Amino acid sequence: MSEAKVTLTFSHGGEPIELPVLSGTLGPDVIDIRSLSKRGYFTYDPGFLSTASCPSSITYIDGDKGLLFYRGYPIEQLAEQSDFLEVCYLLLFGELPDAEQKAKFDATVKDHTMVHDQMNRFFTGFRRDAHPMAIMVGMVGALSAFYHDSLDIANPRHREISAFRLIAKVPTIAAMCYKYNIGQPFMYPQSRLGYVDNFLYMMFATPCGDYEPNPVLVRALERILILHADHEQNASTSTVRLAGSSGSNPFACIASGIACLWGPAHGGANEAVLAMLEEIGDESRIGQYLERAKSKGDSFRLMGFGHRVYKNMDPRAEIMRRTCHEVLDELGLNDDPLFKLALKLEKIALEDDYFIQRKLYPNVDFYSGIVLRAMGIPTNMLTVIFALARTIGWVAQWHEMIGDPEAKIGRPRQLYQGNKMREFLPLSERGE
């Protein structure tokens, strides 16, 4: 810990306050303001732009340099050389597994892939056309009603079992959401298959015919899952931590993360990118939409552009851009009108002063939606795939928080701007 301190002085007088400065292993120092509330002050930071809400050893992002590390490993190396379950192990336990640990971990996850059979019945309570994210929030939350044997969150072994269950069951539930939506029977998970192959099998196989996943598509989906597995203290992860800080059931906490992820400014962006491309429809209309994105009076934003933290290139976007080309080549879809439109839009926006000055670059979701669509995954399932990938990040962050002896229930304060105290008037005396 650094010895550095900052001193807060007040223009209206009053005692200056000395605050310690904490240093992490990487990244900017943070001012430790914990003592301020005892002195009667709070800090004001809407959107938490200047707030480090917790210590963490899981993920590191340098937004200016475009760096993303999981447990110290650069995302590019993991996306090229690792597989998703290995990344899950790394995020959860902090180290890469050896061969024996990896085999055991994969087998344990496989053991947990089925969901309780009674959960099948919950689906029929939803309309067929319900958004799969709406069903996901309900179904993952409902897991909390089934797995009572390991819910002592103070017990690390119980937390681990909940983590295995979540990693294993979320893909099964995700595929069930799709099958229910299109009116096909649910396909049970297959232990002979790998994690990603099994997910594609549950999505696309039917009882009438088997499904042979294309290895190029399996690899592409594996990369999408790795790239989306964790992203530091983003909105949904902070939601999971906040929900978990009160000691809530882990399945309910993850359901709260799914609810937060659904928003178009967060995980809903890949779906919003495709909706936007379809709305633009033709290269000739790009200019008109760029003008809308730049106009102060118009709330329209170019979906898939910009990031709260990456003010340079999103490192995940570059990997996803390459993957996008691989998948479209493999499927012979290079002439796909939507993909051509996306590339044209990307080029025009990257040369536009408005986007250059604000450092607005394509983010990972600009490309991931196109890849998933090419793989035959419908638009309304894109955020579900993101939730599937991010489940491990949420679980690892939740696990870390519960194990942190300094963790407290999250309870922000506010800058109150409402009425001062006033007297209640009976209805008969109001408006006189």
* Site residues for ligand CMC per CB under 6 A: 231, 234, 265-267, 269, 293, 301-308, 358, 360, 363, 365
Helix axes 156-182, 195-204, angle to 10 degrees: 30
Q: Considering beta carbons, is residue 169 or 266 the nearer one to ligand CMC?
A: 266
Q: Considering beta carbons, is residue 176 or 360 the nearer one to ligand CMC?
A: 360
Q: Considering beta carbons, is residue 169 or 321 the nearer one to ligand CMC?
A: 321
User: Is residue 349 within 8 Å of residue 290, measured between CB atoms?
Assistant: yes
Decide the pairing of beta strands 67-70 and 17-22: unpaired
Q: Which of 83, 106, 230, 365 is catalytic?
A: 365
Q: Considering beta carbons, is residue 244 or 315 the nearer one to ligand CMC?
A: 315
Q: Considering beta carbons, is residue 44 or 424 the nearer one to ligand CMC?
A: 44
Residue type at 133 in one-letter notation: M
The CA R_g of the chain, rounded to the nearest whole Å, is: 24
Output the smallest distance, CB 143 to ligand CMC, in A.
24
Q: Considering beta carbons, is residue 181 or 380 the nearer one to ligand CMC?
A: 380
Q: 29-67 b/e with 16+ CB inside 10 Å = b? A: eebebeeeeeeeeeeeeeeeeeebebebebbbbbbeebb
Q: What is d(CA 261, CA 136) in angstroms, rounded to the nearest whole number?
A: 11
Alpha-carbon dihedral sign for residues 134, 48, 291, 313: negative
Q: Considering beta carbons, is residue 131 or 307 the nearer one to ligand CMC?
A: 307
Output the smallest distance, CB 387 to ligand CMC, in A.
12
Output the smallest distance, CB 306 to ligand CMC, in A.
2
307 noted as active-site residue: yes
Output the smallest distance, CB 109 to ligand CMC, in A.
25
User: Is residue 245 within 8 Å of residue 401, measured between CB atoms?
Assistant: yes
Q: What is d(CA 201, CA 204) in angstroms, rounded to the nearest whole number?
A: 5
Query: Could you tell me where the DSSP H helices lie in 331-405?
Result: 337-350, 353-357, 364-374, 382-402
Q: What is d(CA 352, CA 190) in angstroms, rounded to the nearest whole number?
A: 49
Output the smallest distance, CB 133 to ligand CMC, in A.
14
Output the smallest distance, CB 357 to ligand CMC, in A.
9
User: Is residue 312 within 8 Å of residue 63, measured between CB atoms?
Assistant: yes
12 noted as active-site residue: no
| Cα separation values, 400 from 91, 176, 257, 406, Å | 10, 30, 16, 11
Output the smallest distance, CB 258 to ligand CMC, in A.
13
Query: What dihedral angle (degrees, nearest 10) is formed by the CA atoms of 64, 67, 68, 74?
Result: -170
User: Is residue 222 within 8 Å of residue 385, measured between CB atoms?
Assistant: no
Q: Which of 230, 307, 314, 399 is catalytic?
A: 307
Closest CA to 265 of 296, 216, 310, 304: 304
- Let me know if 10 is exposed, middle or buried by CB neighbors in 10 A (0-12, 13-18, 19+): exposed
Q: Considering beta carbons, is residue 20 or 63 the nearer one to ligand CMC?
A: 63
Nearest residue to the partner ligand CMC, using Cβ:
306
Output the smallest distance, CB 315 to ligand CMC, in A.
12
3-state secondary structure of 56: coil
Residues with catalytic roles:
307, 365
